[in-house]
Structure 1
């Protein structure tokens, strides 16, 4: 039975017992973000998208912060469903109720700039991956249907955008990969064959663009950020390939084992960035003081190790250095989420 809005608000504000030893308080959902209209983070006229405009970068961060903060909170709570002694139903119902508030408002449905359309995929994926974690524990069937309907609407708009409006360069890179992860996740929730097919096509399109050495041409055009964006492409592709594999579509061998080559290129260059620097002519951001390699850059390793378990000792050793590997846009603690399936 669908809960009345006032009853839902009361539920979200009511402390709920999580276990005999602990208590769980379900907070109200934050105010839904309805519209996004920020521009590119990069300097005007910079075709390589490698020179940040600090003002535009801050404006984009400010616009996305309420969404990203909400996703971070959702994933942290969703991951507790795997903890022993957690009242899984209470946690799941809380999160479903929170996301349903955004679904009911049609949050993120008014994307007023090309850049907001380009970057929303990772956020859609994040919400979907939270629901995948908790849906089997939640009793709120009507609210779950509201969330999947909302994600479906957002993704249908994304399909049109990527096929009709997205810039050619973006179609070949990490932003398309994140939209594909959103589609893979939505398909897993809704069993939508068209969405699943578009996700598989999009991942395959990017995989097949890889050079023989595994470098991705679109990401290699990003100057000193090339290696960083190669990693940023791998994250959604690795998880998408795993999700699609479990939906009956095997892509890990596509285009002469492109995913393995793409991963191999990035991992080999993490020590010095020498190969990427030779391609781009730029010292990479992980080595010039701009960026620091962190666990979230490698969070995809847990999913990838399930796809390529043979001969993965070096990758497992790399993962162990940074575990637990956590990235909210991939659903939170990847080590916790995937370890049971290892």
Structure 2
């Protein structure tokens, strides 16, 4: 099962994107990436906060138990036919967690662009996550579907925490609780996806969402074994990418095939960008597989009928980049930090800012406008004979 419902517009404070912030540490060196020493160094003065802008919102109560079934009809062997009742059940079960993540991202993104409020926002985010951590959020996963799909929520929470962790020197107990919770979940995810997950699920988008969550935990906890596991998970799936760029375990989804390839590329590219920019390398074959998969998805958006030829059914994805839900293509900001593509960058310009709450919120801010995540982390392609 993969995430299906559309993500609502990110609320709150996180719509400020065309600015800079200092990036994450280089994992191998345990140092912070070189970048802007202070946020908005070019600005004469930071904006004055509104009267109520230092208020911390009321967060949803922690979600501890998840016990939902599938979004799909039991008779749908390829999980391409939605069960409306099952779909509503899953949405309801995850509603509080998803709202929590949207709130966290808005606050965390604002901490990056507004130095006046950075500590206030950080204190709010960290305090809120600590409540969930101390309550044992997601500690009772009662169904296989819950175990397979909750990772994106862990990743979203971890991403918000990583953005603000070093914006405040306070709340050491809260940080300790959060990081113990992250380690517990990262350990569960690595064990579950290595051993107990269904065989087909191990080859698709859900494992990539787990890899993203584990990558975020690795960067926070400075745990190289988590990075190694995330890389191994990516390699398992990259090895299946067809020469035409299609991802076979997503193409099984019939009318939703392109939807799910986009859904798989989101955590894949974001995790790869974080890993690559922290001094880990991808082989030429691995880089090529990511490039093919993204190219196939973009070509499919331009002409969905081409994907229908592979998947066997007309696609639900609308034609044209401008007609996509912003969250579904926000991962392209992460991709552009790996691969220099001026033409794609220009196409995205009128659509920015692009946000996906499960990947940290405003990805235009976190990748394109982040001096530590600039394009070209992947090795340049070797020019073919006759290329100019």
Distance 1:77 1:156 in 2: 28
Q: How does 1:156-175 map to 2 (within 5 A)?
A: 156-175=187-206
Distance 2:288 2:100 in 1: 36
Quote the offset at 1:252 in angstroms. 6.5
Which residue number in structure 1 is paired with residue 344 of structure 2? Answer: 315
Relative to total residues, which structure has the larger helix share, 1 or 2? 1
Return 5+ residue gaps in structure 2 as ranges: 1-45, 375-388
8 Å CA contact 1:80, 1:86 repeated in 2: no
Which residue number in structure 2 is paired with residue 132 of structure 1? Answer: 162
Which residue number in structure 2 is paired with residue 76 of structure 1? Answer: 106
Return 5+ residue gaps in structure 1 as ranges: 1-17
Which residue number in structure 2 is paired with residue 221 of structure 1? Answer: 252
Which residue number in structure 2 is paired with residue 8 of structure 1? Answer: none
Which residue number in structure 2 is paired with residue 264 of structure 1? Answer: 295
Which residue number in structure 2 is paired with residue 114 of structure 1? Answer: 144
Alignment match of 1:305 (pick from 329, 333, 336): 336
Distance 2:120 2:303 in 1: 47
Quote the offset at 1:340 in angstroms. 2.5
Which residue number in structure 1 is paired with residue 180 of structure 2? Answer: 149
Quote the offset at 1:254 in angstroms. 3.8
Which residue number in structure 2 is paired with residue 201 of structure 1? Answer: 232
8 Å CA contact 1:19, 1:87 repeated in 2: no
Does residue 150 of structure 2 align to residue 95 of structure 1?
no
Which residue number in structure 2 is paired with residue 13 of structure 1? Answer: none
Determine helix, strand or coil for the equivalent of 2:57: coil
Which residue number in structure 1 is paired with residue 22 of structure 2? Answer: none
Distance 1:294 1:252 in 2: 32
**Cα distance change of structure 1 residues 84 and 43 upon mapping to structure 2, 3 Å threshold:** same
What per-residue deviation string (whole Å, max 9, x for no partner) do you get for residues 158-195 of structure 1?
12211222111111111110000001110000011221
Q: How does 1:252-291 map to 2 (within 5 A)?
A: 253-255=284-286, 257-287=288-318
Q: What TM-score do you get using the length of structure 1 for normalisation?
A: 0.90
Determine helix, strand or coil for the equivalent of 2:60: coil
Q: What TM-score do you get using the length of structure 2 for normalisation?
A: 0.79
**Cα distance change of structure 1 residues 253 and 149 upon mapping to structure 2, 3 Å threshold:** farther
8 Å CA contact 2:353, 2:364 repeated in 1: yes
Root-mean-square deviation (CA, aligned residues, Å) is 1.7
Determine helix, strand or coil for the equivalent of 2:80: coil
Distance 1:169 1:108 in 2: 23
Distance 2:102 2:212 in 1: 18
Distance 1:235 1:326 in 2: 11
Does residue 326 of structure 2 align to residue 295 of structure 1?
yes
Distance 1:21 1:229 in 2: 40
Determine helix, strand or coil for the equivalent of 1:226: helix
Determine helix, strand or coil for the equivalent of 1:270: helix
Which residue number in structure 1 is paired with residue 71 of structure 2? Answer: 41
What is the number of residues matched between the two proteins? 320
8 Å CA contact 1:252, 1:259 repeated in 2: no
What per-residue deviation string (whole Å, max 9, x for no partner) do you get for residues 290-316 of structure 1?
xx621111111111111112xx12211
Which residue number in structure 2 is paired with residue 191 of structure 1? Answer: 222
Distance 2:226 2:84 in 1: 36
Q: How does 1:46-61 map to 2 (within 5 A)?
A: 46-61=76-91
8 Å CA contact 1:224, 1:283 repeated in 2: yes
Determine helix, strand or coil for the equivalent of 1:274: helix
Determine helix, strand or coil for the equivalent of 2:301: coil
Quote the offset at 1:255 in angstroms. 3.5
8 Å CA contact 2:326, 2:354 repeated in 1: yes
**Cα distance change of structure 1 residues 93 and 256 upon mapping to structure 2, 3 Å threshold:** closer
